[in-house]
Amino acid sequence: MSGEGERARLDLDVIRGMGTGLNNVKKAFDGIDKLGQFLEDFGDGDLADKFEDFMDNWEISREKLTEEIGAMAEIAKAAAQAYEDIDHQLAEAIRGAQSSKKKEK
């Protein structure tokens, strides 16, 4: 591959890698058990109340983060696919133009 083509391939690989990495982060967030299993470790009182507040906020935030990370992963994968499709279409157009020029000679 030439310099530009090689760089474009590397860029696509980076974008695809981002999609895969983000999916892995999403899976990790999905796999985190609920924090409620630790609630009784805090006993009764203020500390348990604070942990319960944290736990509630964590669940809401984790769900939002998981959704956003999943969306970003899909965007990265779709972007890489779209760039690759365009690259193939341009290559086909160039091949077609070159074939036409050869036939005209």
What's the CATH number where 32 sits? 1.10.287
Cβ neighbours of residue 101 closer than 8 Å, sequence gap 6 or more? none
**Range list of β-strands (E), the chain:** none
Looking up tokens 């290559």, which residue turns up? 91
- 4 C-beta neighbours (distance < 10 Å), count: 8
Both tokens of 63, joined, read 């769900």
Count of the separate structural domains present in the chain? 1
pLDDT of residue 103: 74
Long-range Cβ pairs for the range 85-89 (8 Å, 24+): 87/8
Residue numbers of the chain with a pLDDT score lower than 50: 1
- Which domain does 48 fall in, by range? 3-104
pLDDT of residue 2: 56
